[in-house]
Amino acid sequence: MPVPTHRESPTGSRTSRAHPLGVTLRGDGADVAVLAAHADAVEVCVFDDAGRETRTRLPDVELGVWHGHVPGLVAGSRYGLRVHGRWDPERGLRHNPAKLLLDPYAQGVEGEVALTPEIFGHVVDEDLEGDLAVADPRDSAPHVPRGVVLAPLPADLRVGEDERPRTPWADTVVYEAHVRGLTRRFPGVPEAERGTYAALAHPAVLEHLTSLGVTALELLPVHANTSEIALRRRGLSNYWGYNTLAFNAPHPGYATAAARAAGAEAVRAEFRRAVAALHAAGIEVVLDVVYNHTCEEGPDGPHLSLRGLDDATYYLRDAGGRPLDVTGCGNSLDFTDRRVVRFALDSLRHWVTEYGVDGFRFDLMTTLARGHDGYSPDHPFLVALGADPVLAGTKLIAEPWDVGPFGWRTGQFPPPLHEWNDRFRDGARRFWLSDAREIASGRSAPVAPGRGLPELATRFAGSADTFDVQRGRLTSVNFVTAHDGFTLADLTAYDRKHNEANGEGNRDGSDSDTSWNHGVEGGTTDPGVLAARRRSVRNLFATLVLSTGVPMITAGDEFGRSQGGNNNAYCQDNEVGWIDWDLQDWQRELLDDVRELLALRRRYPVLREAGVRRGSPVREQRSDLLWFSEDGEPMSVERWHEADRRVLQLLVDGRDRGETSVLVVLNGGPRRLDVVLPAVEGLAAFSPRWASTPGRAAGSCAAGAALPVDPWSVRVLATD
């Protein structure tokens, strides 16, 4: 990018029009409004094709919002902001007009952040270390991105309400994926489209998702982002994208080369077409969004947007005025301020109305609900989210924790939010992996009160110990793995993380012990170990898909993808992070089994609707779940408290609804057993439908008859 020269233009013309934040095209230019509540002046800087800069000072300020009309700022214009005012970092005053800032409301972004001293607001040396007290006078414009003004969407790309799938929560299956990681190596996708938004719309990708039974594609962040300074100095990048630069613009790096060359409008169009294609295939689009922090890192981080506009307003501080980080990422946005709440809501509505997005998963959402006294379920942001006519009808999912004081809040978010259920994740893993590891080694499983079989049953039934039943039994978004942590195959192949490639001495990533390598760490050719691992993967998948709640699958788990034991691949934009679609025979067999499981969930309403007919009130107690031991008798209180009990039969009873009943038989022990099927009035026989081990029984089994059940296995039977 050439070093710009600049010239002054007349002060932006005064106007009495309403001034929505950002750029609004009008007449010979655009109305511009920018929140900079502590600034003395704000300039809009427009760059021509040669990089020459024209600065226009905004003439008016009301309630901290500077606004005015800027002639010549038209669709396709590249622009930035310069802010004048005091430099007093300890008080959150970081105004430095030498630094070109990205408009927080920019809808398009062009250019990248260079790793140079000029991108910092304070003086730093070549090692990027310096003194916050001294403002840096060097111009950052040649080294930072520009915003791009976009015209309204053309008619053929506008969002039609009738295009949205609007899948009920009961029928929803979430598939969490990364745009590049999902498609970078996808067979059948042209090389020029691999790893891009365009690939999401390719028939081969859509066919995989629909044949699997996916109804909602949850994309890791697609907001324009950049990589942390420390990562870039190690020669790595923030592959996952949880480091937002622009909250209203799609990340240009995920567009095809042709779209990037054509500009921000083409990037927008490519993402919009991908959403439309997914909708046409019946798949909703959910975005993983990061409003808890920004890419500007800690107080000594780069000076790119919010920090230079209004550090004191946007960033969270403690009672003493010191920067407060409850995200672990160097900074936190301050949701005690109504203007920050508005900023997030404006951005969310933009993605719904402009792109047709169907929902959001909120990263570290506890941060977004912190008031002056900590987390509150009545926080203004949560109230506004549930009341907003645009957002309330979308799918809203909370990651219900952050790293601040009392940050773990699973089960405590209000409707209409659904929540990632880490208790489901941990309970399923403990039963099938870490407790099983102890039993297989000859040691007693370390079963604490409420753990083991009682815990697994509680998770299967919808985690009533965690979620208020009045919120509905589908509040829980169940998962065994996510982008953060081991893949499902690696959970069964590694006892320890192997994150050396991340360059942090293997200190990063979770140290959780809820995995089991089945006797060998990592790769092996031992057929017994491999069979045991694949059986455990199937057991976990069955628990996920058959349990009450909304299942979420991590992309690639359906056929056993591995990251080589790396449980924090956030910086691995390579074969570690990308999904390998060259499947071996065992992977195809696993994929077929997962498809069968999801087909069972679709086929039998009792598995999806949690015992409640649509439109009927939620009952306090579930009478549709019946629990039996291996002798076919109902589970007694005494049996629930037997710490070494590892066999359970779960009857999801559809009799009072006139529907098929489903029986799930779990054997979490090391011995093959003859399990007596329950004799329940009106249910004469059960037909095998699925099993996690080979050699599935054929034909129906009479109620009261004995069914051989392999060790460490799950069987599914139905009454149709």
Using pLDDT thresholds of 50, 70 and 90, give the confidence band for residue 16.
Answer: very low
Q: Looking at residue 483, what is its pLDDT?
A: 98
Round to the nearest angstrom and report the end-to-end CA distance of the chain.
67
Phi, psi of 651 (to 5 degrees): -100, 115
Tokens of 669: 């022990």
d(C-alpha 250, C-alpha 282), whole Å: 22
Least confident of 18-22, 346-350, 368-372: 18-22
Q: Map residue 231 onto helix, strand or coil.
A: helix
Cα torsion 44, 50, 51, 57 to 10°: value is: -20
Q: Looking at residue 109, what is its pLDDT?
A: 98
Residue 22: other Cβ atoms inside 10 A: 20
Residue 94 parent element (H or E) = strand 93-94
Task: Check: CB of residue 432 under 8 Å from CB of residue 536.
Answer: yes
Instruction: Please check the confidence at residue 449 and state whether its pLDDT lies above 90.
Output: no
Residue 109 parent element (H or E) = strand 108-110
Q: Looking at residue 3, what is its pLDDT?
A: 41
Q: Looking at residue 446, what is its pLDDT?
A: 52
Task: Check: CB of residue 395 under 8 Å from CB of residue 216.
Answer: yes
Residue 420 parent element (H or E) = strand 418-421
Q: How many CA atoms lie within 13 A of 418 on its CB side?
A: 28
**In the chain, % of residues over pLDDT 90:** 90
pLDDT tens digits for range 474-507: 999 999 999 999 999 999 999 999 999 999 999 9
CATH domain 22-149 topology: Immunoglobulin-like (2.60.40)
Residue that has been written with the tokens 């970092």 in this structure: 89
Q: Map residue 308 onto helix, strand or coil.
A: helix
Q: Looking at residue 5, what is its pLDDT?
A: 47
d(C-alpha 272, C-alpha 198), whole Å: 9
Indicate the pairing of strand 685-691 with strand 701-702. antiparallel
Q: Map residue 105 onto helix, strand or coil.
A: coil
d(C-alpha 19, C-alpha 488), whole Å: 50
Q: Looking at residue 623, what is its pLDDT?
A: 78
Instruction: Please check the confidence at residue 193 and state whether its pLDDT lies above 70.
Output: yes
DSSP code string of 681-706: TTB-EEEEEEESSSS---S-EETT-E
pLDDT tens digits for range 585-644: 999 999 999 999 999 999 999 999 865 555 555 555 677 899 999 999 999 999 999 988
Instruction: Please check the confidence at residue 232 and state whether its pLDDT lies above 80.
Output: yes
Q: Looking at residue 161, what is its pLDDT?
A: 81
pLDDT tens digits for range 513-544: 899 999 999 999 999 999 999 999 999 999 99
Least confident of 6-15, 316-325, 509-518: 6-15
| Catalytic-residue membership of 363 | yes
Residue that has been written with the tokens 């007093």 in this structure: 88
Using pLDDT thresholds of 50, 70 and 90, give the confidence band for residue 157.
Answer: very high
Task: Check: CB of residue 195 under 8 Å from CB of residue 498.
Answer: no
pLDDT tens digits for range 241-284: 999 999 999 999 999 999 999 999 999 999 999 999 999 999 99
Q: Looking at residue 447, what is its pLDDT?
A: 62
Q: Looking at residue 7, what is its pLDDT?
A: 54
Instruction: Give Cα separations from 65 to 41, 58, 419 (angstroms).
Output: 11, 10, 35
Region 646-669: mean pLDDT is 95
Residue that has been written with the tokens 């979420």 in this structure: 552
* Homologous superfamily assigned to 171-607: Glycosidases (3.20.20.80)
Catalytic residue among 363, 435, 593, 624: 363
Q: What's the whole-number average pLDDT of the chain?
A: 94
Angle at the Cα of 364 (from 494 to 399), degrees rounded to 5?
70
CATH class for the domain made up of 625-719: mainly beta
d(C-alpha 199, C-alpha 527), whole Å: 37
Q: Looking at residue 470, what is its pLDDT?
A: 84
Instruction: Please check the confidence at residue 295 and state whether its pLDDT lies above 50.
Output: yes
Give alpha helix (H) positions in 184-228.
197-200, 203-212
Reported pTM: 0.96
pLDDT tens digits for range 72-98: 999 999 999 999 999 999 999 999 999
pLDDT tens digits for range 382-424: 999 999 999 999 999 999 999 999 999 999 999 999 999 999 9
Angle at the Cα of 203 (from 201 to 208), degrees rounded to 5?
100
Domain extents in the chain: 22-149, 171-607, 625-719
Region 7-17: mean pLDDT is 57
Tokens of 107: 């809808």
Burial class, 108, CB count within 10 angstroms (exposed 0-12 / middle 13-18 / buried 19+): buried
Q: Which residues of 698-709 are buried (b: 16+ CB within 10 A; e: fewer)?
A: eebbebeeebeb
| Catalytic-residue membership of 399 | yes
In 207-243, beta strands by DSSP E: 216-219, 223-225
d(C-alpha 149, C-alpha 27), whole Å: 14
Catalytic residue among 270, 399, 419, 653: 399
Do 625-719 and 22-149 fall under one CATH topology? Answer: yes
Q: Looking at residue 1, what is its pLDDT?
A: 41
pLDDT tens digits for range 673-702: 999 999 999 999 999 999 999 876 678 999
pLDDT tens digits for range 90-140: 999 999 999 999 999 999 999 999 999 999 999 999 999 999 999 999 999
Q: Looking at residue 27, what is its pLDDT?
A: 95
